[in-house]
Amino acid sequence: MPHRHTTFSKFIIEDQRRRGGADTDLTALLNDVQTACKFIASAAARGSLTPSAGQPATAHFAAPAPEPGVNVHGETQKPLDLIANEIMLRTCEYGGKLCGMASEEMEEPYRIPREYPRGRYLLAFDPLDGSSNVDVNLTVGTIFSILKAPDGVEEPEVEHFLQPGTQQVAAGFALYGPADMIIATFGEGVHGFTLDREIGAYTLTHPDMRIPDHVCEFAINSSNARFWEPPVRQYVEECIKGSSGPREADFNMRWIASLVAEVYRILIRGGVFLYPRDARPTHKPGRLRLLYEANPIAMLVEQAGGAASTGRQRILDIKPMALHQRVPVILGSKAEVERLVAYHAAYDRGEELAFSAPLFGSRSLFLPSETAALG
């Protein structure tokens, strides 16, 4: 098919022409991002062959791997987390299209070195999403979000990154798995590109991706069920009851613990992904980071015809308050997300969501002790 001969770079140029004019700075930046993703894919593919701290990351990228530690979120870093972070910084800093970057692995924004020219864009990214899966050889990836810097800003501070997701110019993620891919949106539609290793280029293989409206599949970490809010409990219990329950359909449950893999499956097969607010103090704000996880993924999902919400608010409408702000995330097929939003609204109005729930060992979702814990 003709689109199989369209590379990532060519697609960007043609997309901009269709939309009224080329943005050469954005094209160059996106090409830097795709180059970084190739380097990271190469490092990820080496698995346990990835060099230890102080050694070159890959045969093609000479940056040393920093010593792992604990990141700003209190999470133990994998060596590949830091290798991926260094690759993204080094690959994107010198092109003159950025004035700053923000990463999951850095507490403060990254300042472009003085020897490089400044550009008008900001890049926020998670260098290696799903890195807990590295040791078991499951799919991981890189998530990125591109924003415009405010006029006149050359040395951005934290507040300059704190833009709602609706202000994103482009967003996407790379997958490092059986096939390496980039899934991206530039504001109109979602398109998938697969790395053709014979020519060394990401090529268009999945044009105009659309999330199916109704699919009987959901993804959630059920080990946290005792901490969920009642609306999430109701939804999951109805799915588990299957064809004998109120949904009158059998559902499959999935959980990969890699956001990029979960979202790619939803783009291909539909369904819903939930990482909801729960009763634990560290989880009440949510677990996924707004700026460089939830926002870019929400943009992709909405552009593919789906929906993305906290359960109470559209994710893209949230005004960020901090660089590493966390939010609850419910995303996927529009009808399923809307059902969950309706359950949250009913719960917040005080309407009882009572039913027999053997999974949770309760007759009603509104047990006094639970309601107090979730307040």
Instruction: Specify binding-site residues for substrate.
Output: 129-132, 221
Bridge partners (DSSP) of residue 172 are 144, 184
At position 269, the amino acid (one-letter code) is: R
Residue ranges for the known binding site are: 104, 126, 128-132, 221, 293
| Cα-based distances in Å from 71 to 76, 106, 176, 207 | 7, 7, 22, 36
Task: Specify the residue for token string 């990141």.
Answer: 71
Q: Give the count of beta carbons closer than 10 Å to the beta carbon of residue 346.
A: 15
Contact between residue 165 and residue 315 where contact means Cβ atoms under 8 Å apart: yes
Residue ranges for the known binding site for Mg(2+) are: 104, 126, 128-129, 293
d(C-alpha 100, C-alpha 245), whole Å: 51
Q: What are phi and psi of 6, to 5 degrees?
A: -95, 115
d(C-alpha 5, C-alpha 203), whole Å: 7
Name the packing angle between helices 24-45 and 8-18 (round to 10°): 150
Q: Which of 310, 311, 374, 371 lies closest to 340 in space, CA to CA?
A: 311
Q: What is the DSSP letter of 7?
A: B
Q: What is the DSSP letter of 332?
A: E
d(C-alpha 165, C-alpha 299), whole Å: 7
Q: Which of 129, 152, 149 lies closest to 139 in space, CA to CA?
A: 129
Bridge partners (DSSP) of residue 219 are 254, 273
Q: What are phi and psi of 293, to 5 degrees?
A: -125, -65
CA dihedral 219, 222, 227, 230 (to 10 degrees): 60
Query: Concatenated DSSP letters for 272-307?
Result: EEEE--BSSTTTTT-SEEIIIIIHHHHHHHHHTT-E
User: Rounded to 5 degrees, what angle do the CA atoms 173, 296, 57 make?
Assistant: 40
